[in-house]
Amino acid sequence: KEYLSTKFVGRNICYFDTISSTNMEAKRIALKNPEGTVVISEEQAKGKGRLDRNWVSPPKKGIWMSMILKPETEPTKVAKITLLGAAGVNKALEDMGIYSKIKWPNDIVIDGKKVCGILTEMSCELNMINYVIMGIGINVNMDREDFSENLINKATSLKIEQNKEINRKELLAGILNRFEEFYIPFKEDNEISEVIEICKKNSALIGKKVRVIKDGETKTGKALDINNEGQLIVMFEDGSIENIFSGEVSVRGL
């Protein structure tokens, strides 16, 4: 709390030593708790990635948290919240002198390896959002031994990259501060231009070859830009240009 300067994000915190998944718990309590509530655990027994993948979350070595949000926007705008989270993490790291890249739409990478993943889920009915859960997992003080052999080639931690322990409380507060700074203009005026600038400036994909997996079909192309709606613009090998919505694809840098 000593580092926190937010109005509402992180002002209500549900803390656990261990839990199955903070996203699951946040969903369970979302309707009964105010916007900005954060569920955080030292450890997750069943941390989740997208498409039911597993998220490795060992005790006391990361930030495993989920935020409860209640924006009064259409469900189609929710993909942007992941970008607000990614920009928040990227900026909070930069504030601590750690430089990272945003791999659109939901990863933060350092040196080409994943250090943070974001999982945004929502509940809506009749085109109205009940709540949005944004889960953020950051490998803070994990050592090489904490990763399995196949993960160590594509994942890293802040400690591994910086050769020193990182203060998790300071980073957590920094992320909540930065996120709220980006979330308020989004919520009030649908304004995300600063976030788009950050995602573009620190993009791990723009200018690179990418593989886009959509409806089970894989196409390769080059990432050109991120538009004002937060979509990735890709030129495919046949010369066609498409705006990619985050919900429908898996993008891998080649």
Q: What is the binding site for ligand BT5 (CB under 6 A)?
A: 21-23, 44, 47-51, 53-57, 64-66, 106-107, 114, 117-119, 135-137, 139, 151, 155
Q: Residue 48 Cβ, how far from ligand BT5 at the closest point, in Å? A: 4
Instruction: In angstroms, give the least distance from the CB of 25 to ligand BT5.
Output: 9
Burial 64-101 (b: 16+ CB within 10 A, else e): bbbbbbbbeeeeebbbbbbbbbbbbbbbbbeeeebebb
Nearest CB to ligand BT5, comparing residues 151 and 184: 151
Residue whose CB is less far from ligand BT5, 155 or 244 = 155
| Residue of 208, 203, 245, 239 whose CA lies nearest to 223 | 208
* Secondary structure (3-state) at 253: strand
Shortest spacing between CB 62 and ligand BT5, in angstroms: 7
d(CA 118, CA 179): 13
To ligand BT5, the closest distance from the beta carbon of 215 in angstroms equals 18
- Rg of the chain on CA atoms, in Å: 17
Residue at token pair 């904490």: 146
Question: Least distance (Å) from ligand BT5 to the CB of residue 8?
Answer: 20
Residue 208 or 237 with smaller CB distance to ligand BT5? 208
Rounded CA-CA distance 35/39 in Å is 12
Q: Which is nearer to ligand BT5, 128 or 169 (CB)?
A: 169
CB atoms within 10 A of CB 226: 24
Nearest residue to ligand BT5 on Cβ basis: 117
Nearer to ligand BT5, 139 or 177 (CB): 139
